[in-house]
Amino acid sequence: MSIPAQARDRYGHFRPTDQVVEAWEHTREIAATLVAPIVVFQCPARFTPTPEHKANLRAFFQRIERGDLVLAWEPRGEWEDAEIATLCHDLDLVHCVDPFVRRPVTAGLAYFRLHGIGGYRYHYSDADLARLLDWCIPFEMAYVLFNNVSMWDDALRFRALVGQATSARR
């Protein structure tokens, strides 16, 4: 979808506009078609914890219809853990993180997005994957998404590690 230059200020940053709500509705329809249980809202570092951004975030998540979807929020930049925890609690959001960078401030369900230690070209070692599994264990459910060049291989190795750990517990 191409956004006309004169309309660009009506999109993004959870602005209280019809365009943002319409974009959410399209996202929700796609999630329903895919039978996706979770939608992740990844914010750029320029989405800073200003009063305007926090107000927009609150208004957006209080306004939208989410149905049965779990909503995860991946803030970037200068957000303090206490501020993230408050917003996640108040707005019923899962704190989405790369656990090699920071730990989530929400409990119950984890959503980990692994961007590569030091960058996208990183290949996770067996020790990294064992550490990741340890971080998943305290959660009732943990989703792990590898977002690096070796994502397929790393995910398969991690799945095998999870299978071994599950078999060992039986």
For 56, other C-beta atoms within 10 Å of its C-beta total 19
The pLDDT assigned to 170 comes to 67
Say if residues 71 and 92 touch (Cβ distance below 8 Å).
yes
The residues, any chain, with a CB within 8 Å of residue 110's CB and separated by 6 or more, are: 94, 99, 104, 135, 136, 139, 141, 142, 143
DSSP 139: S
The pLDDT assigned to 169 comes to 74
Cα separation, 167 vs 144, whole angstroms: 20
The pLDDT assigned to 61 comes to 96
Let me know the angle formed at the C-alpha of 146 by 62 and 64, rounded to the nearest 5 degrees. Answer: 10
- Computed on alpha carbons and rounded to an integer, the radius of gyration of the chain in Å comes to 17
The pLDDT assigned to 1 comes to 63
Residue ranges of domains in the chain:
1-97, 103-170
| Strand extents, DSSP E, the chain | 38-42, 70-74, 94-97, 109-114, 141-146
The H-or-E segment that residue 30 falls in is helix 18-34
Sign for the pseudo-dihedral over CA of 22, 76, 50, 80: positive
Q: Is 132 helix (H, G, I), strand (E, B) or coil?
A: helix
Global pTM reads: 0.90
**What are the φ/ψ torsions at residue 32 (nearest 5 degrees)?**
-65, -40
The pLDDT assigned to 4 comes to 73
Q: Which of 147, 139, 136 is nearest to 161 (CA)?
A: 136
Cα separation, 21 vs 27, whole angstroms: 10
Mean pLDDT by 10 residues, the chain (170 residues): 70 86 94 97 94 96 94 94 97 97 96 95 96 96 96 97 82
